[in-house]
Amino acid sequence: MGKTILTFALVLVISFLNEYNCLAQTAPKDEIEVGIGALTVPGIANVATEVFSSVFSLGSYTTQSNSTGSLTAGYKHRVAGHLDLGGLFLVNHISQTIYHNDTQTGSGHINWTALMGTLDYNWVDHQSFRLYSGLALGASIYKKKQENNSGQTMTQSNTYLAFQANLLGAKLGKSFSGGLMLGFGYEGLIGLNLGYRF
C-alpha cells in the first residue's frame, strides 16, 4: 500500500512538472533579491573561538554573543540556458558581552562585510518554480572592536576569502518569489530570500 501511494505521488509530481514545462513562457533574465541566513561560517567561527577561550582559561574568561545572521542583497542575470551569473553583498553583525570570573568586564562587536560573485545552475527552471545549486566566491572584511569597563579599546581588522556553496535552493513565484536555500558558507547553512524578476 505504501509503495502504491509513493508511486502515485511520484507520477503526479512528474506529470505536474511536465505540464508546467509545456506551459512555461520565456522567463525574465534579471533578478534582484534580499535574504537572511543562519548558521554562517563567521558565526560558527565565533562560537568556536568562544569555546576555545573558555576551555583554555578554565572557564574564567567567557563571552556571550548575539548574531544577526547574514543579511544579503544580490543581483542575478541569466547568461545562457539554465545558468545565472551575479553578485552578492553580505553583512553579518555579532555583538558581544565579555565576562571574567562571572563579572562583566567589557563588550564589543564584530562586523563581517563580504562581496562575492555568484554562479547558479537551475536544475528545474519553470516560470513559477525553480530548484537550483550554486557557488559564490569573493572577499570579506572582518572588523572587531572590544572595550573594557575602564574604557580601553582593542580593535582588529583583516580581509578573508568569502565563499558559499548552495547545495539546493528552491524558489516559488513568477515576478515576485520567496525561496529557501540549504548550503554552507558566509550566507549560512539555511537561508530565506525574497526576489523580483524582470
Cell of 136: 559564490
By residue range, what is the domain housing residue 77? 28-197
Decide: 159 and 140 in contact? Cβ < 8 Å.
yes
79 torsion bin: left (phi>0), alpha (psi -120 to 50), beta (else)? alpha
- 73 domain-assigned: yes
- 16 domain-assigned: no
- 152 domain-assigned: yes
**pLDDT band for position 57 (cuts 50, 70, 90):** confident
At 158-176, the pLDDT tens digits run 999 999 999 999 999 999 9
Which one-letter DSSP state was computed for residue 60?
S
**pLDDT band for position 13 (cuts 50, 70, 90):** low
Average pLDDT over residues 81-88: 96
Nearest to 46 by CA among 186, 190, 191, 193: 186
Nearest to 198 by CA among 30, 86, 25: 30
Task: State the pLDDT at residue 74.
Answer: 98
- 105 domain-assigned: yes
- 23 domain-assigned: no
DSSP helix/strand/coil, 144: strand
